[in-house]
């Protein structure tokens, strides 16, 4: 394992004024360019390469990574303030930012110097696209994975299937967890950087999704796909540690903050609508039924934001801690998002059911109940710590 630091020695690369300027710039970007991309993605059902290029050109894909690998080295809690903003326009835009700013966390602690140059730095720079590849059609997500490799000299041969892989169809590499053939549990797992369109890889584009429109998802079938041993991150047996070890806890917190950002968009839309829509001679905002609903939504949202920041602080203080808090924030924030988007939809009345910003937010929100684990999986993590 390399000794490359997960965070830079200097934890504050930007002073308060510089960070405030960056945040204002991003707020302006998501409210203007972000909304234009939202319209285009919803109309055309695709994420144009130009959007990736624009985000990369503005430096938004390398905000969180340490400066030692080409990132801007923002402290995690500061990055969360930005991901909250990126979650307000289209979910596919946020997905690009989230994935690009998060994947290095899996790779960096296990990459050797050569792999840092070949995979980590180009990923942080946005020169290569990497897709996080864990979920399988015929197994549970974790020590149950069935994708397997055999080794012959300097080559692994990979067989099995993965599906629902975000940006897997357009990726250059798959950061993939498999197991040594014949092994069981976590011990025989292995993490490989697999060329996404290499020999022995059938890379199929999956059907359209209900929300997060435009992001491609891959169903991958591997038939003795050759992968050089030099593409292995960590040792044989480290597979799940690479895939979920240092990555999952901050990623769940980042997903929780995504829920906060998307819910704030839903709330803003509902507040605006409640002031404009008049029935029986008065704006519906003047009715207690509506204003109390909005008040409950705002309270719910703020509680989720605070719990998420608490999880972030816990993890930043001690990166080996925070699993319970991270799952609590993901659980609470994704349930909050469900309540808030449903409440916002109700404020819109029947018009909310027609194609519109609130209808898009409602669809995008549902995906957050899967990303980085379902409710049930979060509850298992929390209960495990409680009952230990």
Contact 225, 159 (CB under 8 A): yes
Q: Which two tokens stand for residue 44?
A: 């055309």
Residue whose CB is less far from ligand FAD, 51 or 309: 51
Contact 337, 262 (CB under 8 A): yes
Residue 161 binding ligand FAD, by CB under 6 A: no
| Residue indicated by tokens 């796909």 | 225
Residue whose CB is less far from ligand FAD, 150 or 380: 380
31 belongs to the catalytic site: no
Selected from 60, 119, 132, 156, the binder of ligand FAD by CB under 6 A is 132
Active-site option among 44, 372, 376, 385: 372
Selected from 85, 212, 285, 365, the binder of ligand FAD by CB under 6 A is 212
Beta strands in the chain (DSSP E): 130-133, 148-152, 155-166, 173-180, 189-195, 201-205, 217-228, 232-233, 278-279, 282-283
Contact 65, 123 (CB under 8 A): no
How far apart are the C-alpha atoms of 175 and 172, rounded to whole Å?
A: 10
- In whole angstroms, the minimum distance from the beta carbon of 27 to ligand FAD comes to 26
Q: What is the DSSP letter of 103?
A: T
Binders of ligand FAD among 270-309, rule CB under 6 A? none
Contact 116, 58 (CB under 8 A): no
Binders of ligand FAD among 54-113, rule CB under 6 A? none
How far apart are the C-alpha atoms of 86 and 27, rounded to whole Å?
A: 8
Contact 274, 265 (CB under 8 A): no
Binders of ligand FAD among 172-211, rule CB under 6 A? 209
Residue 357 binding ligand FAD, by CB under 6 A: no
Residue 387 binding ligand FAD, by CB under 6 A: no
Residue 373 binding ligand FAD, by CB under 6 A: yes
Residue 228 binding ligand FAD, by CB under 6 A: no
Could you tell me how many residues of this chain bind ligand FAD (CB under 6 A)? 19
Residue whose CB is less far from ligand FAD, 137 or 349: 137
Active site residues: 372
Residues that bind ligand FAD (CB under 6 A): 131-135, 140-141, 164-166, 209, 212, 217, 367, 370, 373-374, 376-377
């Amino acid at each position: 394992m390399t000794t490359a630091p997960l965070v830079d020695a200097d934890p504050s690369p930007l002073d308060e004024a510089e960070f405030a300027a960056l945040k204002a710039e991003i707020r302006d970007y998501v409210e203007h360019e972000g909304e234009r991309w939202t319209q285009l993605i919803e109309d055309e059902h695709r994420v144009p390469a130009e959007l990736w290029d624009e985000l990369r050109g503005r430096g938004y894909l390398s905000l969180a990574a340490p400066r030692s690998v080409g990132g801007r080295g923002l402290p995690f809690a500061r990055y969360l303030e930005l991901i909250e903003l990126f979650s307000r326009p289209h979910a596919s835009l946020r997905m690009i930012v989230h994935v690009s700013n998060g994947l290095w966390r899996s790779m960096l602690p296990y990459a050797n110097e050569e792999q840092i140059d070949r995979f980590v730095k180009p990923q942080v720079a946005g020169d290569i696209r990497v897709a996080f590849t864990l979920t399988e059609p015929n197994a549970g997500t974790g020590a149950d994975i069935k994708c397997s490799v055999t080794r012959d000299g300097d080559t692994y041969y990979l067989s099995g299937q993965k599906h629902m892989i975000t940006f897997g169809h357009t990726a250059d590499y798959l950061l993939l967890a498999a197991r040594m053939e014949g092994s069981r549990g976590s011990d025989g797992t292995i993490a490989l950087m697999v060329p996404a369109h290499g020999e022995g890889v059938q890379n199929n584009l999956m059907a359209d999704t209900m929300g997060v429109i435009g992001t491609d998802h891959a169903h991958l079938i591997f038939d003795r796909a050759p992968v050089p041993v030099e593409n292995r991150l960590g040792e044989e047996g480290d597979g799940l540690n690479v895939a979920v070890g240092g990555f999952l806890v901050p990623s769940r917190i980042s997903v929780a903050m995504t829920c906060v950002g998307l819910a704030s968009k839903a709330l803003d839309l509902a507040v605006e609508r409640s002031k404009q829509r008049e029935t029986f001679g008065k704006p519906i905002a003047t009715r207690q039924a509506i204003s109390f609903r909005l008040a409950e939504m705002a309270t719910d949202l703020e509680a989720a934001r605070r719990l998420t920041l608490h999880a972030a602080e816990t993890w930043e203080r001690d990166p080996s801690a925070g699993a319970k808090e991270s799952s609590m924030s993901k659980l609470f924030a994704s349930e909050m998002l469900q309540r808030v988007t449903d409440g916002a939809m109700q404020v819109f009345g029947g018009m909310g059911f027609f194609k519109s910003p609130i209808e898009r937010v409602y669809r995008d929100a549902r995906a957050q109940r899967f990303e980085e684990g379902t409710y049930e999986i979060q509850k298992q993590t929390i209960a495990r710590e409680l009952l230990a």
